[in-house]
Chain A
Amino acid sequence: MVTVNVNNVTFGYNSTKILQDVSVDIDKSSFVSIVGPNGAGKSTLLKCVNKILKPESGDILVDKNNIHKMKRMEVARNVAYVPQSSNRVFPTTVFETVMMGRRPHLGWFSNEADKEKVWQVLEEMGLNDLALRNFDELSGGQQQKILIARALAQETGVILLDEPTSNLDIWHQLDVMENVRGLVKNRNVTALMVVHDLNMASKYSDLILMMKNGKIVSAGDPVSVLTCDNIERVYGVEAHVHTHAGIPYVMPLKQVGLAADACMMQATDGFEA
């Protein structure tokens, strides 16, 4: 069980603040979704947790350790990152790609035990038939699964996923979400996922963070976050929320305001929820 604590994190390029004083505590292994309009700072928050970006102020603790006091290699042993897509200049096989996840543990050398681990991960994800194919030749859905497999091979307590479902058809979207939920349950990892599809977030998440203009405006379980009121305030969209088997489903109806990035300047006093 791994905890993630984000304490008063602020991040910006020059004068533009992308994250403003963001705090969130994740106390037990869970599936956490970050939702919000484009430009809300979702991916930036994710990248701060992985030390890809360095916040101006504030601390991020993973398993009670401050990641800014850790070496990058040490962070890589604790937090894995799954990018939205990944392109290869030199063709690598699926096996080699997943083996990359073992590198933070291994360095230059490789040994049989680690190869065996890679095989196990591939089998767990149902990818062993693809092991010797080139990463580039595979479909977007398969590539996404391989990137998740690489994160898995990294054997970290926290996995960050940046819009893993955005380019996928609904079968593969469900496949990725099921896989991640499996990891949270079986391996006790904490998954932090940026996702645009509110219904996917609703169906799978234990905790949803809703962001706008660099702040978390609502956090909690799907039922408490995905309300008509929140969606209208955050997205500027009137929506119908319909609960089925305890899970809220969102059906957007019409635009009622400007896009979130357009009204960024008109600041945010009302959103201290």
Chain B
Amino acid sequence: MFEVFRKGIRLKDECETNIETFSDMRKYGILFIFFLILFFAAAIAMIMGAYEISFTDVYATILANLGLYGDVSTVSKLHNTIIWNIRLPRILLSITVGAALASSGAVFQGCFRNPLVEPYILGVSSGAAFGAALGIVYPSVFSSVQISAFIFGSLAVLAAYTLARTRGQTPIVTLILGGVIIGSIFSALVSLLKYMANDSALREIVFWLMGGFDYATWQDVFVTVPIVFVSFLIMWMYSWKLNILSMGDEEAKALGVNPEKSKLVIITIATLVTAVAVSTVGIIAWVGLMMPHAARMILGPDNRFVIPSAAMLGSIYLIVCDTMARTLTTSEIPVGIITSIVGAPYLCYLLRNKGRSLLG
């Protein structure tokens, strides 16, 4: 009897120490480690490239441009162009797009209560593809491919959402079906445009669809970074509501969260960041599906930690993939191809080995 009692006490102590060792503090620590990895990944990616520039030259150029040390006029013009106008915006854009896709993927998965959802589920990618194709085929009508992609990407999601809304509610199944319907319509329209396009436009559409950072400019960085950053903060603020939402609408209501209102805000913001990312760099697969899973495996299902860690993992992953895209061969490989080739086996591994504990 006493033995059993003592055992009970010991078990409780063990539990508490376990909880303590995996407390919020520890999770913040892991987030900080991710941040360090991201920082060093970016720093190393700056040095790598088809044109070899030494470590000191790379950072001398950056410091000079930031006005911290030295003078831009003393840096060689070629180095300045490669480092400051090509590599740096490209890396900053990979970070932004990776964070955008991975955090919105985490948010969509939580909101839809489905671990197989990705940010493109509501048709934003097909809509954006159609917008981009329109811009490429009819440049006189749609002056900016990017803006046209953004507009049609957002329109597609709006259409899917409107389609799914019945009697003041948006059930998840109809929402996903709405996304499938709208997605297939826009895909068909993209095929039509491809069929009608001349050879050079067709080539451009195909490249756009594969996604890539090769046209990254400072202007892209200035447009995307603030939008993605602010949206990320909003999604992070909503993370605890997302935890409650992932238990289903009724329980969410009982715990004080209005599911319709929260879903609308969350879907709007997540769509906005996805549309911004897609319209800037094209369709990059797998990041939004995979990184939230990786984050959950490391930190558990609490979205307050999943969202920031998924964002950083997404950034790291895209930096790595984009550096490979730039350096593996003499000509550039579209990054979407690399993210898929690296990503698919990884998800396969997850499903085979951790599928039970991860997906229940």
Contacts and interface: CB of A to CB of B under 8 A. Distances in A.
Nearest to A52: B253
A4 interface: no
Nearest to A109: B240
Given A89-B113, A101-B255, A108 B357 contact: no
22 contacts: A47-B250, A52-B253, A76-B254, A76-B256, A79-B254, A86-B247, A86-B251, A87-B248, A89-B246, A89-B360, A90-B296, A90-B301, A100-B255, A107-B240, A108-B239, A128-B11, A129-B8, A131-B15, A131-B19, A132-B15, A132-B18, A132-B19
Interface in A61-88: 72-77, 79-81, 83, 86-88
B115 interface: yes
A132 B17 CA distance: 11
A271 B347 CA distance: 61
Interface stretch (A22-30, A91-99, A255-263): A91-99
A110 B25 CA distance: 11
Given A76-B255, A77-B256, A132-B15, A92 B301 contact: yes
Contacts of B246: 88-90
A103 B256 contact: yes
Given A75-B256, A81-B251, A91-B360, A100 B15 contact: no
Given A52-B250, A52-B254, A76-B256, A108 B304 contact: yes
B253 A104 contact: no
Given A81-B250, A91-B360, A103-B256, 8 more contacts: A80-B254, A83-B250, A100-B244, A103-B240, A103-B243, A104-B256, A115-B19, A131-B15
Contact of A89 (B8, B11, B115, B250): B115
A72 B302 contact: no
Contacts of B113: 89
Interface of chain B, main secondary structure: helix
Identify the interface centre among B113, B248, B254, B358: most chain A CB within 10 Å of its CB.
B254
A50 B254 contact: yes
Contact of A104 (B24, B243, B255): B255
Contacts of A95: 19
A136 interface: yes
A91 B301 contact: yes
Interface in B227-268: 237, 239-240, 243-244, 246-248, 250-251, 253-258
A132 B23 CA distance: 12
Nearest to B240: A108
Nearest to A129: B11
A89 B304 CA distance: 17
Interface string A110-135: 10000100010001000011011000
A76 B256 CA distance: 5
Nearest to B16: A119
Nearest to B253: A52
B266 to A, nearest CB: 15
A96 B240 contact: no
Interface in A43-70: 47, 50-52
Nearest to B20: A115
Contacts of B254: 50, 52, 76, 79-81, 83
Identify the interface centre among B16, B358, B360: most chain A CB within 10 Å of its CB.
B360
Interface string B270-303: 0000000000000000000000000010001110
Interface in B56-88: none
A51 B255 contact: no
A44 to B, nearest CB: 12
A123 B15 CA distance: 12
B12 interface: yes
Contacts of A86: 247-248, 251
Interface in B110-124: 110, 113-115
Nearest to B9: A128
Nearest to A130: B15
B253 A50 contact: yes
B251 A136 contact: no
